[in-house]
Amino acid sequence: MQWFEKLEKNGFVQIERFLPYNEALRVKDAIVRNSHFRKWNLLTTPYQPLSNIKDRISSKVIDSSRHSQAEKAFKRQQFSFSFHRSSNKHAKQHGQSALHKDIGDKIVKLLEEQGLVEGQLQDSFFASFKKGQFISYHTDGGAGKYAFIYQLSQGWQKKFGGQLTLYPKKIKFFKRLIEPKFNSLVLLKLSHPMPHSVNVLRNPAHKHRITISGWVE
């Protein structure tokens, strides 16, 4: 069965070796070498601002509070997440628009060649997950026709966590775990729909779970 047949039948597919190895390495190295991920913003939900004096406290204190709030909601099984990300607009500010456009164009072309889309990249972003971060069970709603997650984590070990967990039967106890394998592309058919989550990270500080994610219409 071809990858696009699996996608249409099962609602998801993982394509290994999406790019030539050296090309994937260049993308990853460009992000890490320039420390782009250090400039991305912490994104959390839920978030209750500390107070109107937040400008007088350090960003580290604010980020710690935000992560703690998300973590408590996660333990209560509420929708929540905590990770660092860059949107398209933010990426342009740090010279990453070429990386976004190149990967986005390749994914659109891949889907377009099979007649699955008409070539519209809705949005994309870089994401970095540190120890303790996560995304809880959710669907992407009307974000687009397909979601994509391109993995750029090298030397990843199962004990680091951070697996993409899919729920093909739409029930939480029926799971499919996908490891963050370098240079692999995961496609999700959003009309399926395909609930998913990112397991809590247990990675050491020098190991970054970095992805390029987004949606195609």
pLDDT given at position 124: 85
Burial of 152 (0-12, 13-18, 19+ CB in 10 A): buried
CA 34 to mean position of chain CA atoms: 20
State whether residue 3 is helix, strand or coil: helix
pLDDT given at position 110: 95
pLDDT given at position 178: 95
- 18 sits in which H/E element: none
pLDDT given at position 21: 96
Helices 97-113 and 21-33, interaxial angle, to 10°? 150
What tens digit of pLDDT does each residue of 43-84 get?
899 877 655 555 555 678 888 889 999 999 999 999 999 999
pLDDT given at position 58: 61
Full set of structural domains in the chain with CATH: 3-39+87-216 (2.60.120.620)
Q: Is the peptide bond before 46 cis (omega within 30 degrees of 0)?
A: yes
pLDDT given at position 16: 96
CB atoms closer than 10 angstroms to residue 92: 14
Flag whether the pTM goes above 0.85: yes
pLDDT given at position 56: 52
Check residue 172 and report its DSSP letter: T
Which residues in the chain show pLDDT less than 50?
none
